[in-house]
Amino acid sequence: MTGQAIMVQGTASSVGKSMVVAAMCRMFRQDGLRVAPFKAQNMALNAYVTAEGGEIGRAQAVQAQAAGIAPTVDMNPILLKPEGHSRAQVIVMGRPIGSIGAADYHERKPELRGVVVDALARLRSAYDLVVIEGAGSPAEINLKDRDLVNMFVAGAADCNVVLVGDIDRGGVFAAFVGTLELLEPAERSRVGAFLINKFRGDLRLLDSGLRFLETRTGIPVLGVVPYLPALRIADEDSVSLEDRIGRRRARADEVEIAVVRVPLISNHDDFQPLEHAPGVVVRFVERAEDLDGADLVVLPGSKSTVSDLHWLRASGIARAVTTRAQRGELVLGVCGGCQMLGRRIADPDAAESDEREAQGMGLLPISTRFSGDKRTTQVRARALVPSFLCNGGDADIAGYEIHMGRIERDPGESGPFAIRSRNGAPEDDVDGASSHGGAVVGTMIHGLFDNARVRDALIATLRARKGLPRAEAPHTSAAPPDELDRLAAAVRESIDVPLLRKLCRP
């Protein structure tokens, strides 16, 4: 049996396609269907590791969560991780196949179509419905002859398309009409409805525009989804960071975490749980002076560790971080940030950059060696020594690793966590490193702050160092609200659900 399919495309990037797909996955799951997400090709530096150790886009992992299923590589068979200079690491079915220039990758797209079609077919054979996400716009006429992710996929699935536009940006009606004008007749016939996203204000003010759109195109409007503030669902792209640059400083009764936005920042969603914690202000910063007064400075993951290390030095941030550490102020490095804080980075085979060796910041007793072997694992770990990340205890924490460089600790040195398992297999390994005195800590584990005990331990340490009382736990036994339920409810209330169900049938 082949499951049904519906596709969500957009008038541009970052119009909210990923969230709409997540909402639909949750809605259809609530309605009793076995549903799965799919995105043929994703370009993102926020990634996730499946239980089998395959790497996929973070958005598809969130969408799988919305559907109530485990993420698999079939849900995102091609992932592109930009490396700068028009190059990207290309990951096919969860495994990297190399770093490829944009022009060369464009030429290879036809041979990758079979990978896309096969992955989609496997999902449709296993689920009642597959909700498919496009990328960018289907009207990029310079890319259409080698399309892998928009109307090519709609044709392969023989499904209808919901076209999403972001009204918060302005020009949404022109975007809808202009997109249709640039589609071929066969492509245009697949567009079954428009969906307006991120609306703020009185819906009555849209009436004339909606009537014009439906009269001009003959295509119905599925609905108008409101702007949802403070949605606690992981963002995929660094575009979402633009609104968080220059965020307000912490008040006297709050703690402040400054995350350095390096040019090729990856997995910035690591810090989203902290952003939503009461009494915590997380700021993404790009200038050395913005570190002043922060209770914790974080060097995050990077897709190009050496390149971003050079940027840290050129911007003066590396010097500011070193000065902080010398004063005993807290510094955290995650993945690439951990490697930058070490003594040395060696890349003899040019696995990540053209530089064979670079000097690190020297704040952690480690060296890093890059090779072509990429580690992508889900991990379980326990605190090895007390640190500002964890007070200790026997309880496991969960996270995942995505890196090519392997760190080597100086003799006799240890790290904050002991790795107990990788991808379900028992393991006896040490993660990361700590400085003498413990002011600087590095870890290679992503997703740490999804663990309440790590998050709470960090916040408690920051508050204590600032002379603030420990934050009180909420006086309730109720489970925290599910943000995916909140998202699904908002979309369900805003759209013509019978029309959506009709569009799911070819």
Q: Write out pLDDT tens, residues 334-372.
A: 999 999 999 999 988 777 777 888 999 999 999 999 887
- In this structure, what token pair is assigned to residue 278? 């009461």
Q: Is the pLDDT of residue 479 over 50?
A: no
Is 504 among the catalytic positions?
no
What 3 state SS string does 370-383 have? EEEEEEEEEEEEEE
Is 403 among the catalytic positions?
no
The enclosing domain of 293 has a CATH number of 3.40.50.880
Catalytic residue among 335, 338, 390, 504: 335
d(CA 2, CA 120): 10
Is there a single domain that holds both residue 105 and residue 52? yes
Is there a single domain that holds both residue 177 and residue 134? yes
Opening angle at CA 63, ends 4 and 98, nearest 5: 100
Is there a single domain that holds both residue 80 and residue 209? yes
Q: Is residue 497 part of a domain?
A: yes
Report pLDDT for 75: 98
Q: Is residue 88 part of a domain?
A: yes
Q: Is the pLDDT of residue 143 over 90?
A: no
Highest mean pLDDT among 105-114, 345-354, 496-505: 496-505
Is there a single domain that holds both residue 141 and residue 289? no
Q: How far is CA 118 from CA 76, 108, 112, in A?
A: 12, 17, 10
Model confidence at 476, pLDDT cuts 50, 70, 90, reads: very low
Is there a single domain that holds both residue 152 and residue 99? yes
Question: Which carries the bigger pLDDT value, residue 188 or residue 474?
Answer: 188
Report pLDDT for 160: 98
Is there a single domain that holds both residue 390 and residue 453? yes
Catalytic residue among 159, 338, 403, 446: 446
Q: Is residue 474 part of a domain?
A: no
Is there a single domain that holds both residue 211 and residue 296? no
Name the domain count of the chain.
2
Opening angle at CA 124, ends 121 and 125, nearest 5: 85
Phi, psi of 420 (to 5 degrees): -95, -30
Report pLDDT for 243: 55
Is there a single domain that holds both residue 225 and residue 277? no
User: Model confidence over 165-185: pLDDT tens digits?
Assistant: 999 988 999 999 999 999 999
Q: State what percent of residues in the chain have pLDDT above 70.
A: 95
Burial state string for 402-432 with b = 16 or more CB within 10 A and e = fewer than 16 = bbbbebbbeeeeebbbbbebbbeeeeeebbb
Q: Is the pLDDT of residue 230 over 80?
A: no
Q: State what percent of residues in the chain have pLDDT above 90.
A: 75
Cα–chain center distance at 389: 22
Q: Is residue 116 part of a domain?
A: yes
Which segment of 197-211, 226-240, 248-262, 417-431 scores lowest on mean pLDDT? Answer: 226-240
User: Model confidence over 1-20: pLDDT tens digits?
Assistant: 689 999 999 999 999 999 99
d(CA 378, CA 446): 9
Q: Is residue 193 part of a domain?
A: yes
The enclosing domain of 16 has a CATH number of 3.40.50.300
Q: Is residue 478 part of a domain?
A: no
Q: State the DSSP code for 340.
A: H
Handedness of CA 132, 138, 142, 147 (dihedral sign): positive
Which pTM value belongs to this model?
0.87
- The domain containing residue 273 runs over which residues? 254-465
- In this structure, what token pair is assigned to residue 41? 């090709």
